[in-house]
Amino acid sequence: MRIDTKIGLVLALLGALACGDDGEGGGRVMMTVEVTEVSADEALEGAEICITSHDGYACATTDATGFTTMEAPANAEPVFRVTHPRTVPGLMPVTTTSVDGAFEAEVAEPGLTNILLNLVGITPDATKGNILVLAGGPMGMSGIGGVTYALSPADGEGPFYFDEGAMPDAELTSTSGSGAAAFANVEPGDYTFSFSGPYGCDWEIGHGQSATEATLPVVAGELTIISLEDCEELPD
């Protein structure tokens, strides 16, 4: 999945109620996960995926095609952490339902992250985290313009919206056709992410178009990726 086409992974964090808890709704589902490098749309073999928000779930490793299958809590909002020798650790919370599902986990190489931040005059701080927001149109079409993103409480620098060429532009005040933006050097912790604009968006898995915010984790030295998919203009 390319940064300027589909646009990438949704975020919400809800801790388990107790050790070994299967999630808010109980039970387990199987999740098929594809791991790719965000700029090259390259499948990554040997990426390890673990669930950090719920106890009792085994990690999994991608095969030569970039895919793996693993158990996850049903009807819950688990946070998946993806690590690979070539990339920055990625946090990707998704919402599961009562049936098996699948999602794509995009991760970025450190050099790409540094270059993008440097373009808007930001020096990455290893003691803080970064957030990449990606939003795409119906059926995986290219990104959407005119949408604004916000964090609460406000922290760090940004959002910096990306231009049509998927490069950050400090002059933009809402998304261009790429649909992408970034928050830089955010203190570790939990934040409420929200978006507004003339669109309704489905979260990556399980959220309806009425959902316009979610809680997301930020970890020092890691990249949290938010994905809004199938955004369609709301009727007047």
Residue 145: what pLDDT? Answer: 87
Residue 9: what pLDDT? Answer: 30
CB-neighbour burial class of residue 64 (10 A; exposed 0-12, middle 13-18, buried 19+): exposed
Q: Show the tokens assigned to 198.
A: 């003339």
CB under 8 Å to 111, separation ≥6 — which residues?
none
Residue 166: what pLDDT? Answer: 83
Query: What is the span of the domain harbouring residue 95?
Result: 1-236
From CA 34, how far away is CA 92, in angstroms rounded?
12
CB under 8 Å to 115, separation ≥6 — which residues?
none
Residue 13: what pLDDT? Answer: 27
- Identity (one letter) of the amino acid at 23? G
Q: How far is CA 165 from CA 116, 123, 180, 183, 186, in A?
A: 12, 22, 10, 18, 25
CB-neighbour burial class of residue 234 (10 A; exposed 0-12, middle 13-18, buried 19+): exposed
User: Given a cut of 60, is residue 29 above it in pLDDT?
Assistant: yes
For strands 129-135 and 181-186, give the pairing. Answer: antiparallel
User: Given a cut of 90, is residue 112 above it in pLDDT?
Assistant: no
User: Given a cut of 90, is residue 91 above it in pLDDT?
Assistant: yes
Q: Which of 15, 35, 31 is nearest to 76 (CA)?
A: 15
Number of domains in the chain: 1
pLDDT in tens, 205-214: 445 556 778 8
User: Given a cut of 50, is residue 219 above it in pLDDT?
Assistant: yes
From CA 127, how far away is CA 220, in angstroms rounded?
5
- Identity (one letter) of the amino acid at 143? G
Q: What global pTM score does this model have?
A: 0.80
Residue 94: what pLDDT? Answer: 85
CATH number where 11 lies: 2.60.40.1120
